[in-house]
Amino acid sequence: MRSKEGGGAGPGEGRYGGREGTERRTVADEIGHGASGALRVVAAGTLVRAAVRRYLPWALVASMLAGSLLKELSPLPESYLSNKRNVLNVYFVKMAWAWTFCLLLPFIALTNYHLTGKAGLVLRRLSTLLVGTAIWYICTSIFSNIEHYTGSCYQSPALEGVRKEHQSKQQCHQEGGFWHGFDISGHSFLLTFCALMIVEEMSVLHEVKTDRSHCLHTAITTLVVALGILTFIWVLMFLCTAVYFHNLSQKVFGTLFGLLGWYGTYGFWYPKAFSPGLPPQSCSLNLKQDSYKK
């Protein structure tokens, strides 16, 4: 945006390149119209739509319930994805928040600075990642404590022979036992929260306009495609969790915590004044520009 004293660009221009002689479209339009069909599906052509943000939470809940019902009534045959040692689970899901954090950090920084030109506002928006980290840490700690206080150590996976001398999960496993407690699905929680957070942040692409030849366009497009693929992995592995792992109540609580983390931030707290704020949109940019002009 541009103040009287500053030389920055307005909301319609961005901070990179002028309007003379170049046709400028939003990054969402560029990917939606210029990329191959595969990229359109996994990147902005799908994920930035308002309908996706509106219905994805309901779709996750419905797929979790349907998958859980399938698991109970007609279990699917074992597959590569039902093995906890599969590549996606070991190298992606177990580090889901790290992947989400590392890709959203440059994406938020580049897109928000491009639109606002204010380092302070960018830092404020980047604090959403610190909030997300706190939610991840607090929820996983709660899950671990619940499993500890509701669990016991058994001699076999069939839950035979309680070992009363082992009072913790770690000690139980070290002695060759099997710990059984109420294990809220951390996968259901984290994959729900990460997928919804990525979709919320990618809504900014409707405002980001860049010259196609500029390096910023390449950087943002690359991040969009990476985030799109990551979201596809999160949703796929969420479905695998629904049909292969945990029981219904454990997945319901996990998914519920993910939804509460998302709605409590983007739906309730972030629209308020004293918060990290929502991704910049046209109305908020115009209001800020008018305040600078005054």
- Is 246 considered catalytic here? yes
Structural domain total, the chain? 1
User: Average pLDDT over the chain, rounded to whole?
Assistant: 82
Long-range contacts of 169-175 (CB under 8 A, 24+ apart): none
Quick one: DSSP state of residue 77?
P
Quick one: DSSP state of residue 91?
H
Instruction: Give a yes or no: residue 267 inside a domain.
Output: yes
List of residues 6+ apart from 48 with CB closer than 8 A: 28, 202, 203, 205, 206
Instruction: Give a yes or no: residue 233 inside a domain.
Output: yes
- 30's tokens: 């560029």
Instruction: Give a yes or no: residue 245 inside a domain.
Output: yes
Q: Which residues pair with 153 in a beta bridge?
A: 179
Instruction: Give a yes or no: residue 289 inside a domain.
Output: no
| Whether this model's pTM surpasses 0.85 | no
Start-end of H helices in 43-185:
44-47, 50-73, 87-91, 96-116, 119-149, 169-174
- Is 217 considered catalytic here? no
Domain that residue 123 falls in: 59-68+85-150+185-279
Instruction: Give a yes or no: residue 100 inside a domain.
Output: yes
- Give dist(CA 118, CA 106) in Å, integer: 15
Task: Please return the burial class of 228, using the count of CB atoms within 10 Å of its CB with bins 0-12, 13-18 and 19+.
Answer: buried
Choosing from 114, 166, 187, 217, the catalytic residue is 187
Choosing from 114, 206, 217, 246, the catalytic residue is 246
Q: What is residue 208's predicted lDDT score, i.e. its pLDDT? A: 83
Instruction: Give a yes or no: residue 255 inside a domain.
Output: yes
Residues in the chain predicted with pLDDT less than 50, given as ranges, are 1-22, 34-44, 287-294
